[in-house]
Structure 1
Amino acid sequence: MKKVGLIVLAAFIGGAAAIGAYKLLERRDDGMSIEEKQKVLFASNPVKISSAGSVDFVQAAAAVSPAVVHIRTTFNSSSSDRSGSPFDMMEDLFGGGGRRSRAPRAASGSGVILTPDGYIVTNNHVVENAEKVEVVLSDRRKVVAKVIGTDPNTDLALLKVDENNLPVVKMGNSDNVQVGEWVLAVGFPLDLQTTVTAGIVSAKSRNIGILARNQQPTQQQFEEYQRTGKRPVLTNTSIESYIQTDAAINPGNSGGALVNANGELIGINAAIASQTGTNEGYGFAIPVNLAKKVLEDFRKYGAVKRGYIGVTFVALDADFAKELKVSDNNGLYVKEVVPNGGAAAAGIKEGDIIKKVEGIEIYDSPDLQEKIGRLSPGDKVQLSVLRDGQLKNISVTLKGDDSLGAAVKPALAGKPTGNTISKLGASLSPASAELKSKFGLKSGVVVTGIEPGKAFDSLDIPKGLVITTVNGKPVNSVKDVEAALPISKNGMTTISGVGQNGNNYTFSF
């Protein structure tokens, strides 16, 4: 009897603590961050669900589904830069169709509730240029949402609805996510009601180039273009370090939850790899640890306060290492140090190879950019750089883009060479005899540069492709290409070539 009494007393104290903590959460609303609210909420109300090793997703799905919402957006007719759905950035990249001339009247996506008082995360491309954003809650209520902040560089947006006592998804730690781990994707694909799909994490730190293609000029660049007619050179400030999963993700899942088997939010679903515009195997989610910083900046400032190292770099591999005449195949080779940037002040030099950030080995640009993307101007970051065969630890104080004038961005190994064909948006050079011999070719011109937003960029024709024929005609020079372009059938141009991997490719447009 005494034991039963102790159990009842413990339950009473636990319940009282939960209620008291939640009331404290309500009273301290203005002074608490989104993550602090989550800690109070889930410390007081621990969610007891299956372990990460379980293949039973029933409890995780039940815990998450009520807090994933349907987002519906409407646009006015002047939004001419929009296309048929908010997922065209995925469709354009992976072959789901071309741009259309008219803006949509309506579109939809998903969102994840993070706090009981109505903060909701979604993708920037779901709400971008929307005239009205409406959220459909799990109980079928419709509420109008206010856009607190948007960031095209990470494709994140934060919304706020005037509601209380809403269900919440617990934020996890995306750094702990492992390849092979079970995950669930929750959202509203293809305008269906709440849908849960399962898969595994198939890769981490994926950069698929989707955000860089949607980079827009600044207002200053646009005004300069209006005055001079000179096309601006856009700096790539996007941050892509996606979690890749084979859980089925379709248009409509954008902004929805990617959770582990514990029901913890590890990513915000953002894109798919597809030739049709619908699921064909791989989806991509923004890591929640990157999202935490961006969302908190939205809540505090309405915009992202991003810090930059102040270098341009290229990720090393065997080919680049040979071209740059360096012996190391791993790390980020510093191509340029921006004057007055944090790297310059810390003593980083051109030719340095960044090997580690905060003691963690890095191999490609997403490894560095995601970690820097979580920091703010004034924050310090420890870099390990290889110089003259010696590893040096250097502390860099990050600077904001207003004082720096340039972002941390990947650089191509060398500038485009050859002549540019403006209608294709590409620079071409005759293929060398050595290159033709390597692939057994009788003709060929090499794509040495690609202009963002033009034909080759839209078709994802890679730099380094050896074009062998245009509209069936062999080409060995830029003049050959220009002469072959008008010889098309039914208005279609067909380009065939060989990639650096030796595979044959054909593009029609």
Structure 2
Amino acid sequence: MKKLLIIVLVAILGGMVALGGANYLGWGQTKYVEVNGTPTTTLARFSNAPETRVVPAPTEGFVIAADRALPAVVHIKASKPAGRNGGGGNPFGIDPDQLPDAFRDLFGNPGRGGNGGEMPLQQGSGSGVIISTDGYIVSNNHVVEDAETLEVVLNDERTYTATVIGTDPTTDIALIKIDETGLQPIQFADSDEVKVGQWVVAVGNPFSLTSTVTAGIVSAKGRSIDIVRRSGGDMAIESFIQTDAVVNPGNSGGALVNQNGDLIGINTAISSPTGVFAGYSFAVPSAIVKKVAEDLREFGIVQRGLLGARIQQINTAFAKDKDIDRDNGVYVAEVVEGSAAEEAGIRAGDVILSVDNVSTLRSSELLEQLGRHRPGDRVTLNVERDGKARDYTVVLQNTNGNTDVMLPTEGPEIVSSLGAEFENLSEDYANELNVQGVAIAKLGNGLLAEQTRVRPGFILTRVNGRSVRDVEQLEDLLDGADGPITLEGVYPDDTSRTYKYAIVK
């Protein structure tokens, strides 16, 4: 009995000690922490947590973003001849199943139509963003390119026919306009201020589901995926904002906005093995969009400030091969004679580290920064040479090697009526193919598409039996031709076979 009493006393004493210790440590008490000015309860608090803190409300931010962005995002319905752009509606002229790295564009093609014996029209569905009260709208070049008609449907269902003001394949941006005033434009944000990990909202018309809003975060910046280069060539600028906001075909040209509803990018492409969203999407930064849109509105074409150097991004393997003591930066492989780079004193072998104090350790970042400038603009490049960094002031040039404003050029009427863009063959390419002529870079609406089965890439070698050396001579031969015109040439994949096409003006 005595032992039992001792055990009970020990148990009671132990319980009292435990309760006292818990009370001393604060267990069982309710703690109040100020959140947005409202007291609330919490079960635990880290020792270094502040007594008051502000907790953002992301759902509220998405509502604000949607309310501000939705009125500025439009639905674009583009009618294009069926079979154009590779026959499948792909804006880059490539079979979607053959795209490397499984990249897909976001331009939906919900159906086709046609009548009589005319070429049927393929209906494409994309998006656009109103940027002015008087009807200017930005979208993707591949949404409006080659379209015979463009129908724009506003968020309130008002419908208009749009005209193309200008396009820029090098950034995949286009500017179109509808005849209306009093519209609600989107506000531009500075895409340089965008941070990896921040919330973003995508607004567009996926699968023709108008005014669709999705949210995600910024996954990366300065991303290059080599998709714009297919239509924009070596002048292409790819420095995408990568996000995981859900976008799908039909989102092309739509808005990527921050939580305030301000534009930080134009949705352009997705990474997908199936053609629908599989995790990542890519948007052209608003800084590039704004500059391109301003150029197209003012001049009709983009004013590109060029450095005049062939560049290559440095990585560990490249640095080892070139004996460079750094693993990043943009290597100057070659400087064009008489270029802006040469006049500034930049040499082959230099490494470019920044533009106007903005770090450019990747080629995409350098091209983005330069792409914001016009010919005649001065930029400061921080360049490393022989292990030492110094600044160079560069006056950027245009494609003609001067600082003049570039204006749209119009060839002879017959050349324009062909509906094609021609380009000279480089000396190396001509020697490789052992052929002399002019290549069809792009094929749009016109006599060639209507009367022949010629495809982009065709190298035109003769016009009415006379040899063609360059675009200038081609224009002269076509302008002076009477009656039917015979075109002869080859395709790069088989130069042994000559094709002949005839057109009637």
TM-score bracket relative to the smaller structure:
0.5 to 0.7
Kindly tell me the number of residue pairs found equivalent between the two proteins: 343
Alignment of 1:320-331 (within 5 A): 320-331=318-329
Letter in 2 for 1:316: I
Matched residue, 1:135: 152
Alpha carbons of structure 1 residues 186 and 151: separation in structure 2 relative to 1, 3 Å: same
Match of 2:239 among 215, 238, 241: 241
Matched residue, 2:378: 380
Matched residue, 1:192: 209
Match of 1:116 among 133, 137, 150: 133
| In structure 2, C-alpha distance between the alignment counterparts of 1:403 and 1:103, rounded to whole Å | 44
Match of 1:270 among 262, 268, 271: 268
| In structure 2, C-alpha distance between the alignment counterparts of 1:210 and 1:90, rounded to whole Å | 13
Q: Contact between 2:350 and 2:384, CA under 8 Å: does it hold in 1? A: yes
Alpha carbons of structure 1 residues 162 and 54: separation in structure 2 relative to 1, 3 Å: same
| In structure 2, C-alpha distance between the alignment counterparts of 1:73 and 1:252, rounded to whole Å | 11
Deviations 1:148-202 (A, max 9, x none): 0100000000011111111221111111100000000000001112100000000
Alpha carbons of structure 1 residues 194 and 265: separation in structure 2 relative to 1, 3 Å: same
Alpha carbons of structure 1 residues 144 and 169: separation in structure 2 relative to 1, 3 Å: same
| In structure 2, C-alpha distance between the alignment counterparts of 1:344 and 1:374, rounded to whole Å | 21
| In structure 2, C-alpha distance between the alignment counterparts of 1:300 and 1:237, rounded to whole Å | 21
Letter in 1 for 2:306: Y
Unaligned regions of 5+ residues in structure 1, if any? 1-50, 216-234, 406-414, 421-451, 454-509
Deviations 1:394-450 (A, max 9, x none): 000000012279xxxxxxxxx9xxx99xxxxxxxxxxxxxxxxxxxxxxxxxxxxxx
| In structure 2, C-alpha distance between the alignment counterparts of 1:103 and 1:365, rounded to whole Å | 42
Alpha carbons of structure 1 residues 191 and 67: separation in structure 2 relative to 1, 3 Å: same
Verify: 1:371 aligned to 2:359, yes or no.
Answer: no
SS of equivalent to 1:240: coil
Letter in 2 for 1:242: F
| In structure 2, C-alpha distance between the alignment counterparts of 1:396 and 1:53, rounded to whole Å | 46
| In structure 2, C-alpha distance between the alignment counterparts of 1:212 and 1:289, rounded to whole Å | 19
Letter in 2 for 1:344: E
| In structure 2, C-alpha distance between the alignment counterparts of 1:122 and 1:175, rounded to whole Å | 20
Alpha carbons of structure 1 residues 239 and 103: separation in structure 2 relative to 1, 3 Å: farther
Kindly report the root-mean-square deviation, in angstroms, between the aligned alpha carbons of the 2 structures.
3.1
Matched residue, 2:71: 66
| In structure 2, C-alpha distance between the alignment counterparts of 1:124 and 1:134, rounded to whole Å | 15
Q: Contact between 1:93 and 1:210, CA under 8 Å: does it hold in 2? A: no
Deviations 1:260-309 (A, max 9, x none): 00111100000000000110000000000111111000000111011101
SS of equivalent to 1:349: coil
Matched residue, 1:54: 58
What's the offset of the Cα at 1:52? 8.1
Q: Contact between 1:342 and 1:399, CA under 8 Å: does it hold in 2? A: yes
Matched residue, 2:480: none
Alignment of 1:286-297 (within 5 A): 286-297=284-295
Letter in 2 for 1:365: S
SS of equivalent to 1:268: strand
Letter in 1 for 2:64: Q
Alignment of 1:91-240 (within 5 A): 91=96, 92-93=99-100, 95=102, 105-215=122-232, 236-240=234-238
TM-score normalised by the chain length of structure 2: 0.63
What's the offset of the Cα at 1:53? 6.8
Letter in 2 for 1:171: F
Matched residue, 1:84: 89
Letter in 1 for 2:67: A
Matched residue, 2:347: 349
| In structure 1, C-alpha distance between the alignment counterparts of 2:90 and 2:153, rounded to whole Å | 18
TM-score normalised by the chain length of structure 1: 0.63
Deviations 1:81-131 (A, max 9, x none): 563354876943554899x9x985211100001111111000000000111
Q: Contact between 1:84 and 1:103, CA under 8 Å: does it hold in 2? A: no
Q: Contact between 1:185 and 1:249, CA under 8 Å: does it hold in 2? A: yes
Q: Contact between 2:315 and 2:327, CA under 8 Å: does it hold in 1? A: yes
Q: Contact between 2:135 and 2:183, CA under 8 Å: does it hold in 1? A: yes
Alpha carbons of structure 1 residues 387 and 90: separation in structure 2 relative to 1, 3 Å: farther
Alpha carbons of structure 1 residues 270 and 93: separation in structure 2 relative to 1, 3 Å: farther
User: What percentage of residue pairs aligned between the two structures are identical?
Assistant: 48
| In structure 1, C-alpha distance between the alignment counterparts of 2:102 and 2:316, rounded to whole Å | 31
Matched residue, 2:397: 399
| In structure 2, C-alpha distance between the alignment counterparts of 1:212 and 1:79, rounded to whole Å | 19
Alpha carbons of structure 1 residues 82 and 305: separation in structure 2 relative to 1, 3 Å: farther
| In structure 2, C-alpha distance between the alignment counterparts of 1:207 and 1:291, rounded to whole Å | 16
Letter in 2 for 1:73: A
Deviations 1:228-266 (A, max 9, x none): xxxxxxx61100000000000111000000000011110
| In structure 2, C-alpha distance between the alignment counterparts of 1:239 and 1:53, rounded to whole Å | 36
Alpha carbons of structure 1 residues 391 and 150: separation in structure 2 relative to 1, 3 Å: same
SS of equivalent to 1:139: coil
| In structure 2, C-alpha distance between the alignment counterparts of 1:213 and 1:85, rounded to whole Å | 12
SS of equivalent to 1:62: helix
Deviations 1:199-233 (A, max 9, x none): 00000000011111234xxxxxxxxxxxxxxxxxx
SS of equivalent to 1:367: helix
| In structure 1, C-alpha distance between the alignment counterparts of 2:364 and 2:120, rounded to whole Å | 33
Alpha carbons of structure 1 residues 69 and 89: separation in structure 2 relative to 1, 3 Å: farther
| In structure 1, C-alpha distance between the alignment counterparts of 2:82 and 2:219, rounded to whole Å | 40
Matched residue, 2:46: none
Q: Contact between 2:104 and 2:272, CA under 8 Å: does it hold in 1? A: no
Matched residue, 2:18: none
- Pick the structure with more strand per residue: 2
